[in-house]
């Protein structure tokens, strides 16, 4: 019975340290936190690590708070559970609706162990210090600034912009395609403008600008509005020579962004696992081999969405008619996200 005894000893050794942890205070000064601003993504990259883990690896819960303008104005709380290792860098990304240039943000974090192996009462650590995330060169020499610098959105979404005025007393008006839109004051220098359910006006974008009565500068930006991606219609494939399939569809009124083109069509075939990027937005050719049954998925995508349509068919037998058209056996649609 010697092997069993050895096994039991190892088992005891593995569990002993855990039981001794139960009397310890959790996570006294646990977390080193850093925050990086990414203006391209309008996001905060939040990184931290835990130094004083009571075990090489523990399941932990973290709570992250983000404040705007001042520390007491908490605008976001996130609970995040993960397995943490000693000194491992953990990351979260937070995207801001309000351009990060418009306001200072502050981030802090706390943690507690959530490990099912630990039996002690779980208490939150103390909060880390607030870390400031500043993206503004707010009060530069310009009398008036507008953020963000550029924007691409999908039709129907809301857009948040702000203007920063050097002279708090000055009168500022903002217009979208020539129509006055009101701002809401965030602090003495910064006002927020929210454009609700923006519509597509032109391929070249919508013009947003602000004007200050004193200096008559007109900072602004073009907002590129993309139409909501439509599902391709009338997807079908045919062949004249039984060598090449020509799969065609009607892309609908999909208009690619003029400034940030990202519309693509890709053909997938599930039995062969094949894939082809389509060069045209109306058709795509596909080499026929010995395969007789085809299950195509045509994926349309733009910067915001993907949409799939599927087509299952059997090619007419090789020996048969010359101008065999592919016979659509069934067609079904799946909306994308």
Ligand X SMILES: *[C@@H]1O[C@H](CO)[C@@H](O)[C@H](O)[C@H]1NC(C)=O
CB 58, CB 144: distance < 8 Å: no
Applying CB under 6 A, among 90, 285, 300, 309 the residue interacting with ligand X is 285
Q: Is residue 246 at the binding interface for ligand X, with CB under 6 A as the rule?
A: yes
Total number of residues that touch ligand X (CB under 6 A): 35
- 63/82 with CB nearer ligand X: 63
- 100/225 with CB nearer ligand X: 100
* Interatomic CA distance for residues 305 and 70, integer angstroms: 36
Q: Is residue 59 at the binding interface for ligand X, with CB under 6 A as the rule?
A: no
Q: Is residue 41 at the binding interface for ligand X, with CB under 6 A as the rule?
A: yes
Per-residue mark of binding to ligand X, 7-36 (x: CB under 6 A):
---------------------xx-------
Tokens of 129: 């210090």
Q: Is 97 helix (H, G, I), strand (E, B) or coil?
A: coil
Q: Is residue 334 at the binding interface for ligand X, with CB under 6 A as the rule?
A: yes
CB 115, CB 60: distance < 8 Å: yes
CB 258, CB 186: distance < 8 Å: no
* Interatomic CA distance for residues 294 and 239, integer angstroms: 13
Q: Is residue 308 at the binding interface for ligand X, with CB under 6 A as the rule?
A: yes
3-class secondary structure per residue, 102-115 = HCCEEEEEEEEECC
* Interatomic CA distance for residues 46 and 37, integer angstroms: 9
Q: Is residue 38 at the binding interface for ligand X, with CB under 6 A as the rule?
A: yes
State the Cα angle at 146 between 142 and 152, rounded to 5°.
145
Beta-carbon contacts of 144 under 8 Å, excluding residues fewer than 6 positions away, are: 163, 164, 165, 166, 170, 172, 210, 211, 212, 215, 217, 219
Tokens of 192: 């927020």
Distances (CA, A) of 298 to 105, 219, 236, 280, 322: 43, 42, 10, 13, 26
Applying CB under 6 A, among 59, 82, 194, 295 the residue interacting with ligand X is 295
- 206/313 with CB nearer ligand X: 313
Q: Is residue 87 at the binding interface for ligand X, with CB under 6 A as the rule?
A: yes
Q: Is residue 157 at the binding interface for ligand X, with CB under 6 A as the rule?
A: no
**Contact range with ligand X by CB under 6 A, out of 13-21, 91-99, 128-136, 305-313:** 305-313
**Contact range with ligand X by CB under 6 A, out of 72-80, 153-161, 229-237, 318-326:** 72-80
CB of 130 to ligand X, least distance (A): 13
**Contact range with ligand X by CB under 6 A, out of 156-164, 203-211, 224-232, 302-310:** 302-310
Q: Is residue 236 at the binding interface for ligand X, with CB under 6 A as the rule?
A: no
Q: Is residue 215 at the binding interface for ligand X, with CB under 6 A as the rule?
A: yes
Per-residue mark of binding to ligand X, 159-178 (x: CB under 6 A):
-------x------------
Please report, for the chain, how many H helices and E strands are present, in that order: 1, 24
CB of 212 to ligand X, least distance (A): 7
List strands edge to edge, sheet with 74-85.
74-85, 57-68, 105-113, 131-133
What residues line the site for ligand X (CB under 6 A)? 28-29, 38, 40-41, 51-52, 63, 69-70, 72-73, 79, 86-87, 143, 166, 214-215, 246, 248, 268, 270, 283, 285, 295, 297, 299, 306, 308, 310, 312, 334, 336-337
């Amino acid at each position: 019975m010697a092997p069993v005894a050895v096994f039991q000893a190892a088992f005891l050794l593995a569990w002993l340290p855990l039981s001794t942890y139960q009397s310890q205070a959790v996570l006294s000064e646990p977390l080193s936190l850093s925050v990086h601003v990414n203006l391209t993504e309008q996001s905060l990259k939040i990184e931290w690590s835990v130094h004083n883990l009571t075990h090489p690896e523990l399941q932990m819960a973290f709570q992250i708070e983000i404040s705007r303008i001042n520390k007491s104005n908490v605008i976001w709380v996130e609970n995040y559970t993960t397995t943490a290792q000693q000194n491992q860098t953990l990351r979260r990304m937070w995207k801001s609706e309000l351009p990060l240039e418009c306001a200072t943000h502050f981030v802090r974090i706390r943690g507690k162990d959530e490990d099912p192996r630990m039996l002690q009462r779980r208490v939150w650590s103390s909060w880390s210090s607030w870390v400031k995330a500043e993206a503004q060169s707010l009060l530069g020499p310009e009398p008036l600034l507008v953020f963000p610098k550029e924007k691409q959105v999908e039709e129907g979404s809301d857009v948040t912009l702000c203007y920063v005025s050097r002279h708090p007393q000055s009168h500022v008006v903002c217009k979208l395609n020539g129509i006055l839109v009101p701002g809401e004051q965030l602090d003495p220098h910064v006002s927020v403008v929210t454009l609700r359910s923006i519509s597509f006006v032109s391929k070249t974008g919508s013009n947003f600008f602000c004007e200050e009565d004193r200096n008559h500068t007109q900072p602004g930006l073009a907002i590129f509005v993309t139409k909501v991606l439509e599902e391709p219609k009338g997807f079908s494939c045919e062949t004249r020579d039984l060598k090449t399939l020509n799969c065609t569809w009607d892309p609908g009124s999909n208009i690619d962004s003029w400034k940030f083109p990202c519309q693509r069509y890709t053909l997938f075939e599930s039995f062969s696992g094949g894939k082809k990027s389509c060069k045209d937005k109306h058709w795509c050719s596909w080499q026929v081999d010995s395969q007789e049954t085809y299950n195509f998925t045509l994926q349309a995508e733009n910067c915001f969405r993907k949409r799939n349509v599927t087509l299952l068919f059997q090619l007419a037998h090789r020996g048969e008619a010359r101008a065999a058209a592919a016979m659509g056996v069934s067609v079904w649609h799946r909306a994308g996200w």
